[in-house]
Structure 1
Amino acid sequence: MKGDVSGEINILKQINHSNIIRLSGFCLHQGNTYLVYEFADNGSLSDWLHVTDKNSKYDLVLEWKQRVQIAHDMADALNYMHNYITPPYIHKNLKSSNVLLDGNMRAKITNFGLARSVEGSENGDLQLTRHVVGTFGYMPPEYIENGLITPKMDVFALGVLISELLSGKEAAARVVDDDGKDEVAVPDGQLSEMVKEVVRGEDNVREKLAGFMDGRLRGEYPVELAYSMVEIASKCVAADLNDRPSVAEVFGVLDKILSSSLNWDPSDELEHSRSLSHGR
């Protein structure tokens, strides 16, 4: 890496968590800094969810339990950063390409180049920046519009990541621009808006959920638990940061969903569906 990376190194020296990438060492050579991290055998979450090469190992499909475990791992790491280290840190750059998977498909958050410490209350001291940097689809409205930085910024991004795990869709739809060269994000194609549609109103809930879920799961997921995950994801991406839960609350919900998922058998869902159809 070029430039000053002392901030990232200092953060990672303070952190010790199984779901955060471990910095093994670094060295300087001819003006460049080389950071050496633990190896994540299975690449990034983005590779698995948005694969384009049909011949790669990423063409394998993440199963329901793996997806819930990954969501739980990400929330665990953020809960640690927000509540268990002093001073607390906001990651600021959460996205599926910054979540790596180890040999056991356990998630590890990486890339702390934009992370910053936040002192004070649960919501953190309000910090403002004129230099808005990030990836479209993961950034909350208060940051895009006013440069406002709080821990709820990470909660928003976590909600988008949970939505990605559920749907297999990208955080923001993209189209090629008028020149036919660059891809540009489409504002009305944001996953954060799509997930809110699933829980909006009480009509056609099962159909809306089925339409939102990743087709590669082939319906092999517990409907009630999937809906619970959609609900918590939609709360995380609330437009008003005060309406979003804390990361500790999200972690608590995902903890229960993971426990229930570990006891779930795909054949149970098949029997459940059959009983529903016979009941009609």
Structure 2
Amino acid sequence: MNIEQNQPLSIIFSPEHSQSDKTYAFINGIEVLSMPSDLYYSHDDDDLGARVVGQKSRFFIDNSTALEIMQRLNFKWDPIPYLGMFGKWATVPDEKIKDFTWKTSVDVGFGYLLRLHFCERGLQMAETRNSVFSVSINDMIAETNVDIGKKRSVVSGIHLHRDYMVMVKGNKEDGRRDLSISLQLKDELVSELFRGLEILKLSNHDNSLASPNPSPPRRSSKSATLLNLLSFFGHGNAIATGAVIIISLVNIITYKLRKIWEDNCTDSGCKPSGLTEKLCRPFSLTEIQSATENFNDALVIGRGGFGKVYRGFISKEQKIVAIKRLKSNSRQGAREFWTEVETLSKLQHTNIISLIGYCNECQEMILLYEYVPNGTLADNLFGLGGESDYHSSLSWEQRLRICTGVGRGLDYLHTGTDLGIIHRDIKASNILLDENLESKISDFGLAKARKRNRVQSYVSTNVKGTFGYFDPDYFRTRRLTRKSDTYAFGVVLLEVLCGRPALDRRVKEDEQGLTIWAQDCISKGVIDQLVAPSLRPKYHQRA
């Protein structure tokens, strides 16, 4: 459109519901744009505004806030014609993913709006079953146990989305930092429920979207020394100057290559410490393939966010073992892998799972444990799939013995070694039962070691673990202590007593959290309702 000099500029937005459900935009009387008014739907009237991650407040976008689309991610291969008009969508492979994490680099000092879009098929499925998901952003919990099916009745024909707002803080010198978004679903796949993800940058207090200018890097003392040497020799003969330059360059290149090698050590198959290797031997990938019949699915005895667990036979040692193979798209990685190898290889206790060996070859990360035939405590309490009609056969005496074993194992971790290990992920699915129903604590990928003789009683770290088992103090302060494990163990004791998981999405929303429900029963004086139905006859006989 050409606008002549001194010609007044007139921009008008006009909703014309009588003709169609659209809003029209006119510039100087010429129609330039028409947009459907039902382009997006947010939430109910009492749920407007984006949730601010890490706070209890909400953020409202008004006409003083400018937005810039930074990233768009499509969870499906088909195009998304209704999600905005400008920009392109990146696409992730349409894989069967329940737990999804995505990272992107953004400018520090700005707020960012994260918008999750739901697909039509996912909303239709949500009407007939619980479509529950959780969202965490930058290791902070944004929202948990969201049942999107409850919104379906009010959004028919409208594209539903959900908004979250997060502030990305940092030093000006940093310039940019990573922003991570994690989605966790119980039953559905990411590609079934979600259509796409948008990240929009919000203008700052100066009404600006401009990226901060990072401060120029300071010249290191090594660089200054090198320049002084070159300046000194520059007045001498050219041969001496050239020799100094060559020697300096060789030293710099050698130093850089060594740093790169050290940083990538765990990713390239390097070995752990000598002591660890003596206690826990490395296996070749060929041995693992032979033990699992080339990872035959018929030998799978368990699976989780990390990958599959196989029942394997090591012919050389004539021993049955459990082999855990880390999948490539797992949220766990090299750090958790080597943490478990280094930690478990130094532990020896009846109630701690024994690590036999590991394999770190051809980008495979595999752990070999002693074989425990009776599965996890969660399997024995709630069934292999957490079936609603499952009735555990564990007697009261067996449950007591299992819990006593877990307590002994935890005491050994906290006080039995100089390391002072905090497990950080105690839960029913990480407690294994052998042929005698002896309990064994497993999965040390998130474990933290703290010297027992240190004055400081806590470790400052990002919150990691499992929803339902989080210690509230650790979640609030990010200060990890042994009490965090003790709290999670208390939740496990409640699971054993009540016969229901820490988070039970099959019951009413206000009763889904086991600890909250238990506190409510105690406050109402109906403690007998806490006891699992299969234990109540024995409980009444003892009363």
TM-score range, shorter chain: 0.5 to 0.7
Number of the residue aligned with 2:288: none
Number of the residue aligned with 2:528: 210
Number of the residue aligned with 2:148: none
SS of 1:20's equivalent in the other structure is: coil
Number of the residue aligned with 1:69: 401
CA separation in 2, counterparts of 1:100 and 1:33?
A: 21
Number of the residue aligned with 1:51: 383
Number of the residue aligned with 2:416: 84
2:382/2:391 contact within 8 Å kept: no
For 1:212, the aligned partner's letter is L
SS of 1:220's equivalent in the other structure is: helix
Within the alignment, does 1:34 sit opposite 2:366 as a pair? Answer: yes
Q: CA deviation at 1:199?
A: 4.4
SS of 2:495's equivalent in the other structure is: helix
Aligned length: 209
For 2:480, the aligned partner's letter is I
Match of 1:194 among 517, 540, 543: 517
- Structure in which a larger fraction of residues adopt strand: 2
CA separation in 2, counterparts of 1:220 and 1:190?
A: 26
Match of 1:8 among 340, 354, 363: 340
CA separation in 2, counterparts of 1:123 and 1:197?
A: 38
SS of 2:345's equivalent in the other structure is: helix
| Structure 2 CA distance for partners of 1:67 and 1:22, relative to 1, 3 Å | same
Q: For the aligned residues, what is the CA RMSD?
A: 2.8
CA separation in 2, counterparts of 1:90 and 1:123?
A: 16
Stretches of structure 2 lacking an aligned partner (at least 5 in a row): 1-325, 327-332
1:28/1:34 contact within 8 Å kept: yes
Match of 2:435 among 90, 93, 103: 103
Q: CA deviation at 1:49?
A: 1.2
For 2:444, the aligned partner's letter is F
CA separation in 1, counterparts of 2:455 and 2:482?
A: 6
Task: State the identity as a percent.
Answer: 32
For 1:146, the aligned partner's letter is T
For 1:165, the aligned partner's letter is V
SS of 1:170's equivalent in the other structure is: coil
CA separation in 1, counterparts of 2:440 and 2:460?
A: 28
For 1:112, the aligned partner's letter is F
Number of the residue aligned with 1:254: none
For 2:531, the aligned partner's letter is M
| Structure 2 CA distance for partners of 1:120 and 1:17, relative to 1, 3 Å | closer
State the Cα deviation string for residues 183-211 of structure 1 (Å, max 9, x = none).
xx9576322223334544xx74xxx2321
CA separation in 2, counterparts of 1:188 and 1:216?
A: 20
SS of 2:437's equivalent in the other structure is: coil
Determine which structure has greater relative contact order: mean sequence separation of CA pairs < 8 Å that are 6+ residues apart, divided by chain length: 1
Q: CA deviation at 1:174?
A: 2.3
State the Cα deviation string for residues 235-259 of structure 1 (Å, max 9, x = none).
xxxxxxxxxxxxxxxxxxxxxxxxx
Match of 2:537 among 188, 194, 219: 219
2:372/2:432 contact within 8 Å kept: yes
Within the alignment, does 1:135 sit opposite 2:453 as a pair? Answer: no
Within the alignment, does 1:161 sit opposite 2:492 as a pair? Answer: yes
Q: CA deviation at 1:217?
A: 2.1
1:66/1:105 contact within 8 Å kept: yes
CA separation in 1, counterparts of 2:429 and 2:420?
A: 23
SS of 2:494's equivalent in the other structure is: helix
Q: CA deviation at 1:48?
A: 1.3
TM-score by length of 1: 0.67
Q: CA deviation at 1:144?
A: 1.7
| Structure 2 CA distance for partners of 1:158 and 1:60, relative to 1, 3 Å | closer
SS of 2:351's equivalent in the other structure is: coil
SS of 2:466's equivalent in the other structure is: coil
- Structure in which a larger fraction of residues adopt helix: 1
Number of the residue aligned with 2:277: none
Within the alignment, does 1:115 sit opposite 2:447 as a pair? Answer: yes
2:382/2:392 contact within 8 Å kept: no
TM-score by length of 2: 0.36
SS of 1:33's equivalent in the other structure is: strand
| Structure 2 CA distance for partners of 1:11 and 1:215, relative to 1, 3 Å | same
